[in-house]
Structure 1
Amino acid sequence: MSDFKTVKTVIFDTSDSGMLSTKLAAVNNNVRFAILDILRDFEKSNKAEDGTFKKEPLYSRELNAILLNNYNINITTQMLGQHLKQLVGAEFIEEIVVKKEVPNKIGRRSVKGFILKEDAFEDLFLDVSFLSDELLTFFDLYESNHRFHDGKHCVLTIFNGVDKGKTFKIHKEETVLIGRKANFNANDLASFTILLDNSYSTVSNVSKPHLKLFYKEDGWYIIDEGSSNGTYIADKKVPIGVATKLKANSFLKLSKGNGSAVLYCSF
């Protein structure tokens, strides 16, 4: 097991995770949330025979009509443009030029259309098909964890799976090991170990902890203790055995795919 006092320390490039607050600010609005919902549903309705999705864009007039008819949201074209601009800036959607038949105009015209970006939700670790439930869960989580922000604690909340919603308040003077239960019982382990259910099958077990979390001098750090399937921040793999400094309100993903665990780290 690594000794965090002697291990090499790096400042991991988590620039993508810095987009998190921008994305949350962009989507924490009923109009922008509805726009993402519309584009998500429109993309799903354009599923091709091979299972892929056709990238058919919607332009502002179409979006405005759906907002009014399906969501009872009545806004001006100018205001809609401001909302779309913020979603583009937050890298949720992208703007492309398309040819459309425009009402009261002769022939097809070039207009700005909008589609979801393929990687729009990667740094949030969310599946776009479950957008509404997961984002609403996150907003509740963000608000509930905020009351623990006292400069002395880090709050870890499990974001997915069987243990979803379990929260751990960790003091600066504590070092925490995180791993799957495997064949261990909670009574066999020290109090500073966070046990994940065995259903997180790709997370390393506590006999060889997947992750270590601790505070050192200028911030909170993690060390991947040689896990078999890796640890990720903003979809970037953390180097093994290296102290990696965290940014506030980060998602940590222990392994990938089925059996992985997503932890929300707040301080």
Structure 2
Amino acid sequence: MTDTETQSLLNEQLLSAAQAFAEDASGLSDLLTRFVQDVERAMREPLDIFPVCHHSPASALHMVRRLQAQPPKVIYMELCEDMLPLIENLRDCKLPVALQAFAAESSTLPPDALPVMVVAPLTEASAEYQAIAYCLTHPETELVFVDRAVDYIFQWDDDWKRGLEQLEAEDETVERENAGLHGTAVGVTVGELVPTFDEFLHFLLRNSNTRYFAEWWDQYVERTIINADYATYKQVMVLVGSLLRHLGRRAEDVRVDLLRERYMWTRIKQHMHQH
């Protein structure tokens, strides 16, 4: 079955479900239609978008297969741009590892909040690591990290800023010596798909007879896609991502996601224009 045939079959199934609910549940019908539109949009994108879930063996396996089948000229990755100089050190590391980037100075953050840092854990079962390893052994393929610099990650983090304001309001002081050694850390979870809308997460787990999102993912997604062809893998991943965006994420998280995506698309377009 070709990629087009696979996509058409998925679209037909979702649209049939939407039509079945059209009279009794118009909201559900509209939602299923949006799922179809999201999948179609991703599949039409000229730039091959490879969806991943962090620490997913299926994502890592499909990444390896895709790179072997169609070696790319450039890989654009959703990782902090300040981490790119660190990847050469991975040659001397034993997995699992965590990439870490600091910002000791910033024009966007108050001096008392510095230094700040972000970390990104990687394992052999990370699609991101497999892509990085491929670029290290295939220098003809360029690797570009397109997510924000360290200080901009914090500048966009409303929860962190609220916590900082609360500390200032309480007039709490931090020992600068210790702060200089450790600073503030944020774990940047690449490929994160965990729902942030609690009501949706509880509904999902209760109706799937699972206790944790990781368990739900393993039973209902991971086992389905690990042996699938690439087109099916991509469509299922986009479909799950669409489900979580429309139902499983808080409105504030969706807003931040959209801002990040716009930033990364801008970085991608800038790089493509320059090359």
Do Structure 1 and Structure 2 share a fold, with TM-score over 0.5?
no
TM range (shorter): under 0.3
Report the structure, 1 or 2, having the larger strand content.
Answer: 1
Tell me the TM-score normalised to structure 1 length. 0.28
Of structures 1 and 2, the one scoring higher in RCO (CA 8 A, sep 6+) is 2
Higher-Rg member (1/2): 1
